[in-house]
Every structure is written in C-alpha cells, then in structure tokens.
Amino acid sequence: MSGNLMDRFIDSIEWIAALFIGIVAADVFITVMLRYFFNIAIPDAYDFGQQLLGILIFWGIAATSYRGTHITVDLIWANVGPRWQRAIDVFATLVLLFVVSVQTYTLFDKVISTRDANLQTFDLRLPVWPFFLIAWIGDAAAVLLIAVRTYRLIFRPDLIAANQNIIKTVE
C-alpha cells in the first residue's frame, strides 16, 4: 500500500474505534435514562454493554498502537540520545507486536469456542460469538497497524515523526 492509502487505512481504524466509543456512550446513557426516568429496562442491556466494552477495548488497542499514544514510561528513553531512542522504540514495538499477535491468536480461539458452545445473551437469546468476532477483527487490525508501525520505525522513521508532530500540534 502506498503511504497515502495506508494513512487512510490507519485513519479508518481510528474512526471505527471512535464509533464504538459513541455506541458505548449512547448505550449507557439511554439505558440509565430509561431506567431512572421511566423504570424501563432494555432487554439484554447489560449483556450488550459488556460485549460493546470488550469490542471497544480491542478497537482502542488498534487505534492507540500505531500512533504510540498509549500509556508509556519514558524514564530511560528521555535520558538517551536519538539513536538509542529509536532502538528502544523498535524493540518496544516488536515486543508489542509479539504480545498482540499472541493475543489475537488466542482471541480467535475464543471466538470459535464461543460459537461452538452456542453462548447466548440472557433475555433475547442472541448469539454472543459475533461480538467476539468484531472484537477479534479490532485485535487483528491492531496487529496490522503495529506491523506497519514497526516497518516505518525501521525503514521510514520520517513518517512516524510526521505523525508524532501532528499529534503534538493537536494537543
């Protein structure tokens, strides 16, 4: 993929994560308002909320992994030169790529086992495995984005630096 096409792909992953944040917020707001003001409970609201939060977490991992905007500890990184900073960034990203790849593999196994077990929501008896699948797709997107970040850190650090400058100007 070209840089421009890849950047659009990365942005679309971030927009999908933002969409899930909105869905979770709307779900919580509507559920609380209906229960508080009208004493009405949406069937499976608790189950949907749980599943949506799980989806949000995995898509959030995808959104934060490429930009490097997740929580970091820069005690050593801040006290070394640019060459060592880049080496630390590459090493940390490779470790993250390994961990998230293993997580994605095990989550796919969970999708399959949940489908095979025919787990369903409590009230409406809807299958749970599609929620797991959507979460897994977010996790797989995280692997792709971390791989792109690793490639760019090693071979195209100028693209990573450009993204970091954009983030700093927005903050």
Beta-bridge mates of residue 127:
120
- Rounded mean pLDDT, 57-71: 80
Signed CA dihedral, 103, 137, 45, 47: sign only: negative
| Rounded distance between C-alpha atoms, residue 26 and residue 108, angstroms | 28
Most confident listed range (13-22, 69-78, 98-107, 162-171): 98-107
Which residue's structure tokens are 């994560």?
17
Which residue would you say has higher pLDDT here, 53 or 69?
53
Tell me the percentage of the chain whose pLDDT exceeds 90.
Answer: 56
Which residue would you say has higher pLDDT here, 161 or 171?
161
Looking only at Cα atoms, what is the longest distance across the chain?
61
Structural contact between residues 140 and 58, judged by C-beta atoms closer than 8 angstroms: no
